[in-house]
Chain A
């Protein structure tokens, strides 16, 4: 198929974001800005204990307080008492047991947010406190208390490939850990539920996936699906945090009970309790190779902490395990993965989704192996790099593009940033930055590389299709195209990409995006780097159908009445894994490589990252500037995991639920990112474009920590790396 990429504002061009100007000017309406006359404010009472039995709840005093319109507990949930993306095991409001500190127990609606919060304090809950399970390894011991009646295993799987006991010349072994990262979207959870005349409810919501919310809401509210309507509100970032339901059901319950609009809007602190986090991991790996560096075998055991409820843990551990051997040809492997329940806050989706934890371990192993063999780390990787036609440990062959070699060679071709003399340098450009802690004493530079990969779209038999509707009409200003999908622009730019696709396919400049809601079919989630390929694909198909009809009518000039078409795009079907982890689980893959250059103040263990360079397999860049933005943002999130971002837990309690102590990189921590786009169109995807949101987050943590190892000579098996680790305390 040929496409006219020269069409102004079409695909391939760095078109300005359609939401850019309103966002910069502050005109964009985020969910936290929603207002309705006569609306009430909701608030949530959360468990202070990670594990307790609820002996009784007394809400009478709260309900009687002036200004309070409703106080609801589990007894007031009219339908199904639980929700969940995969398994519905999470109570809308705790019934008899609380399984994590922060679990919702009761909700209140009041005339004003302060009255609502004050009412929470008037609810008396008698807890019988139990010992929590807070360590993922201890959770597996037979003596451990059970978080759920079925035990503490969410999912365990094994991938057996070739002869896992095959002999090798050289073996290296290591244990690695990553901490719990928060998605930290700038807009905390928010939405407005409006009761409708038909007894149903309209929910205006910042989410990643309208239809998944809808599927979970209607049964809990005890309403037929058509009486629950979801409308997208402005989303201030997501990164996986909005995949699970947070305040959606609560706001609807309160609106239906009071007959008034109810707004719920979390503050930053509550946001830390209100959404799932990145799974902390503990990984053991053993790599065997021939003397010349050819990989013979990879053995891995991966354990991730799923926290109190299932969420997307089964898919996360599926990813981590199937990717555990890295983007390499490995003839023999035994990879086993387990996700456990604990009484820690639930973990679920976050950018990189299991691939991050695996990459952190396998890339550290590749560096160890290179050192053991006396080989250059990039050479070792090149020698074993996956390519089109390679067979993965699951037995799945790679049919699409796999430019691992190109990514690595691209990195190698980039010049290193020049050495900067420490003397007389502005301390702002030294480790410690604004703190003025050094003049360049004990400064060491290090360079690290990592390559990795991740699946695009959903795996293991899931058909996450997307529907699009396109209508072309002619008004006084000429032709106009309207598009409707349920795809959520979380900030990644799908609305802009859709506009570009319509312009390219139809040659119409004026494109109007209708607000997404649940009156159209699902678009699937804005996650798994999938919206451009899935919703982009559906929009392309619908445009092509409209185009055919326009052509049949003799061209645009002949069109008298609006022409419209709806189409659904499906990715190629995938399959489940068998008992040995064999099958065809993934749709397509995106590869990426990163090189980090760091400076470490080895006296204080402080770090300045000098530069991050990323070469990424993007298939085809539909909007190069957006792609670069994704790579830069993904790199920042990866740098955060490597150096500072961690939800600190002590006995199941979050110790840093605010941006005072949950540290995100600032502009002084984040270096310039050099991006190189490797464009090898992916067969079967619209325009050959691969998803681009995640690979940088997968590889950057591994690259930054590799650079720190290079600078300090220390093992650094855990991310985030603390100053203590760098000075060896």
Chain B
């Protein structure tokens, strides 16, 4: 097995073009598990940890760019304004895993239980890819994540990072697991409010083959907030019944299965409870905005 050690993005892309079978390695927290279990024996590995261009983030014209090589620990430290992303990052693994694991790796693995993914979905993020031959392209998150552990990444491409339009509004990420840390999500939910677009975006993880947006619920609550005047006046009460309805619609968007981590019935129930809580938190926060 060859281990290739590019020192720049150009070098990395050239290597990937030359050896499309080579597997990129970022933090290795998914890849090394595959190797250790003997499920993967790649002919070559491209270690991206020396490619500093990947471990960056910046904001431009209201857009946010998050480099594929940013670790969860770096996100927690450097991006406190992106609360749902920080909450998701904080929920990942253990300190060791958060110091190695990256959002690019989460995207590369494309597990329905990837904790960064519901956040990117709720932000409506694009995934930015690049190859030496064809240059850069961007895909909406749902076009990139094509199924459980399936992505649209071409063999000669690398993930550069993700980009989304910065939203104004509160939001949160929550993850249910059967222990209080270091656990694979039984259900995860990210809710973000887009004050300017007058939308509430809700994305679910671990309750379907890939990340799910609860679009019916999103439409229902945006319209209730419209007709009740809550968009204009955050102090307007959103009726309990509408919140219940919203929670119910979120639960029905889930497509969970029974497995060793949890039952389908509990996962659906969890989505309902998390939806209700997350919406309530955001509505309360709109009254006393801390996200401004």
Contact = CB atoms under 8 A, between A and B. Distances in A.
Interface of A: 114, 117, 267, 269, 431-439, 441, 603-606, 608, 643-644, 648, 655-656, 660-661, 663, 665-669, 722-724, 727, 729
Interface in B169-202: 172-186
Interface stretch (B132-140, B142-150, B211-219, B265-273): B265-273
Contacts of B173: 436
A547 B176 CA distance: 62
Contacts of A668: 179-181
Given A434-B90, A437-B174, A724-B263, A660 B184 contact: yes
20 contacts: A114-B38, A432-B176, A433-B180, A435-B183, A436-B90, A437-B274, A439-B277, A604-B273, A643-B178, A648-B260, A655-B260, A656-B260, A663-B179, A665-B179, A666-B182, A668-B180, A668-B181, A669-B181, A723-B270, A727-B269
Contacts of B263: 724, 729
A218 to B, nearest CB: 35
A729 B265 CA distance: 7
Given A432-B176, A665-B179, 11 more contacts: A269-B37, A433-B179, A436-B173, A439-B277, A441-B277, A606-B176, A606-B180, A663-B179, A666-B182, A723-B176, A724-B265
B87 interface: yes
B206 to A, nearest CB: 11
B108 to A, nearest CB: 18
Contacts of A723: 176, 178, 186, 262, 266, 270
Nearest to A604: B273
A436 B172 contact: yes
Contacts of B178: 606, 643-644, 663, 722-723
B266 A436 contact: no
Contacts of B177: 432, 435
B261 interface: yes
B91 interface: yes
A661 B277 contact: no
Contacts of B87: 436
B175 A437 contact: yes
A723 B176 CA distance: 10
A114 B182 CA distance: 30
A666 B174 contact: no
B174 A435 contact: yes
A437 B266 contact: no
Contacts of B36: 267
B291 interface: no
Contacts of B174: 432, 435-438
A438 B277 CA distance: 7
Interface in B7-51: 36-38
Interface in B235-292: 260-263, 265-266, 269-270, 273-274, 277, 281
B266 to A, nearest CB: 5
A531 to B, nearest CB: 32
Contacts of B262: 723-724
B150 to A, nearest CB: 21
Contacts of A724: 262-263, 265-266
A608 B186 CA distance: 17
Closest 9 CB pairs of A and B: A433-B180, A668-B180, A435-B175, A668-B181, A434-B181, A655-B260, A437-B174, A603-B273, A666-B181
Contacts of B176: 432, 435, 437, 604, 606, 723
A111 B176 CA distance: 45
B179 to A, nearest CB: 5
A665 B180 CA distance: 8
A433 B181 contact: yes
B261 A661 contact: yes
A489 B259 CA distance: 39
A277 B266 CA distance: 28
A436 B175 contact: yes
A101 B90 CA distance: 38
Nearest to A607: B180
Contacts of A644: 178-179
Contacts of B90: 434, 436
B266 A435 contact: no
A397 to B, nearest CB: 44
A279 to B, nearest CB: 21
Contacts of B179: 433, 643-644, 663, 665-666, 668-669
Nearest to B261: A661
The listed residue with most B CB atoms (<10 A of its CB), out of A117, A434, A643, is: A434
Nearest to A654: B260
Nearest to B88: A436
Contacts of A441: 277
Contacts of A439: 277, 281
Contacts of A437: 174-176, 274, 277
A605 B185 CA distance: 15
Contacts of A267: 36
Nearest to A664: B179
The listed residue with most A CB atoms (<10 A of its CB), out of B183, B184, B185, is: B183
A412 B180 CA distance: 29
Contact of A729 (B180, B186, B261, B266): B266
B276 to A, nearest CB: 8
A663 B266 contact: no
A352 B265 CA distance: 34
B281 A434 contact: no
Contacts of B261: 661
A573 to B, nearest CB: 45
A114 B184 CA distance: 29
Contact of B270 (A604, A655, A669): A604
Contacts of B91: 434-436
A722 B176 CA distance: 13
A608 B180 contact: yes
Nearest to A442: B273
Nearest to A605: B266
Nearest to B189: A437
Contact of B180 (A434, A656, A661): A434
A608 to B, nearest CB: 7
A607 to B, nearest CB: 8
Nearest to B272: A603
Contacts of B37: 269
A439 B284 CA distance: 12
The listed residue with most A CB atoms (<10 A of its CB), out of B172, B177, B184, B185, is: B177
Nearest to B84: A436
Contact of A432 (B38, B180, B184, B266): B180
B278 to A, nearest CB: 10
A661 B262 CA distance: 11
A669 B87 CA distance: 19
The listed residue with most B CB atoms (<10 A of its CB), out of A435, A438, A604, A729, is: A435
Contacts of A660: 184
B234 to A, nearest CB: 19
A379 B141 CA distance: 61
A431 B180 contact: yes
A443 to B, nearest CB: 12
B175 A666 contact: no
A63 to B, nearest CB: 21
Contacts of B265: 724, 729
A603 B275 CA distance: 12
Given A117-B38, A435-B91, A661-B260, A727 B180 contact: no
Nearest to A431: B180
A267 B38 CA distance: 12
Interface string B148-181: 0000000000000000000000001111111111
A217 B269 CA distance: 53
A606 B269 CA distance: 13
B189 to A, nearest CB: 9
B175 to A, nearest CB: 4
A435 B260 contact: no
Nearest to A435: B175
A437 B273 CA distance: 9
B73 to A, nearest CB: 14
A386 B138 CA distance: 73
